[in-house]
Copies of this chain bind each other. A is one copy, B any other.
Amino acid sequence: MFPMILFLFSLFLSSTHASEQEFCVANLKLPPTPAGYACKDPAIVTVDDFVFTGLGKAGNTSNIIKAAVTPAFVAQFPGVNGLGLSLARLDLAPGGVVPMHTHPGANEVLTVIQGSIVAGFISSANAVYYKTLKKGDTMLFPLGLLHFQINAVGVTSVALVGFSSSNPGLQILDFALFGNDLPTELISKSTFLDPAIIKKLKSVLGGTG
């Protein structure tokens, strides 16, 4: 008798399937919209579209800031499209630092998995909130506010970072100021820094003009 239920709901289920958006795995080949990417056909979606395997591997911190960020944003993990969340892994070798930066599109929550990290942010009211986080500690960084993370111990620290958007964006202050072709004169006028200092920083960060 029960199979009749199947008959009853089959039309219903198949029709809702066509426009299923309880998930919407990104089709990165089509242009995005303000609400995210168009959905991959559910008929070819598999469990692997919902699984990301990159956060288990340490990033390469053999660089000047001794840090590595491994993102699982919509570009790397299309399954987060439209879900209002994404992730990243942060590795900080001894002496490592994620320089002052903002995420223009998402609130952030960081949990220390290994080691210890000094982290902080500055509010619009110019209040400073910073603390030395230990393993297991979690800290929030509201959308759009300048913040930083610095390794606080002599071993590599690792954190798992969550965001309230599938595409948080990242604006690193030093790069935004000194790593592009914004003319030195405009930088100087808008930051009160000496042109000589700006030119010097541009030379090391790849900026021109």
* Chain A residues proximal to chain B, CB less than 8 Å: 1-9, 12-24, 26-28, 30-42, 45-48, 50-57, 60, 63-65, 67-69, 71-77, 79-85, 87, 97-100, 102-105, 107, 109, 111-113, 118, 120-131, 133-146, 148, 150, 160, 162-164, 167, 169-177, 179-182, 186-187, 189-192, 197, 201, 204-206
Contacts and interface: CB of A to CB of B under 8 A. Distances in A.
B169 A124 contact: yes
A87 B187 CA distance: 26
Contacts of A60: 8
Nearest to A147: B190
A6 B206 contact: yes
A46 to B, nearest CB: 7
A175 B14 CA distance: 14
19 contacts: A1-B204, A2-B205, A13-B124, A16-B167, A19-B74, A21-B167, A22-B123, A34-B35, A42-B125, A47-B131, A83-B107, A83-B164, A100-B177, A104-B124, A105-B144, A120-B186, A124-B169, A146-B171, A148-B186
Contacts of A140: 23, 50-51, 79-80, 83
A91 B145 CA distance: 25
Contacts of A190: 97-100, 148, 150
Given A13-B170, A48-B131, 13 more contacts: A16-B124, A16-B170, A17-B124, A24-B34, A32-B39, A34-B36, A55-B138, A56-B112, A77-B138, A84-B84, A85-B162, A85-B164, A97-B190
B33 A33 contact: yes
Q: Is the interface of A mostly helix, strand, loop or mixed?
A: mixed
B109 A85 contact: yes
A120 to B, nearest CB: 7
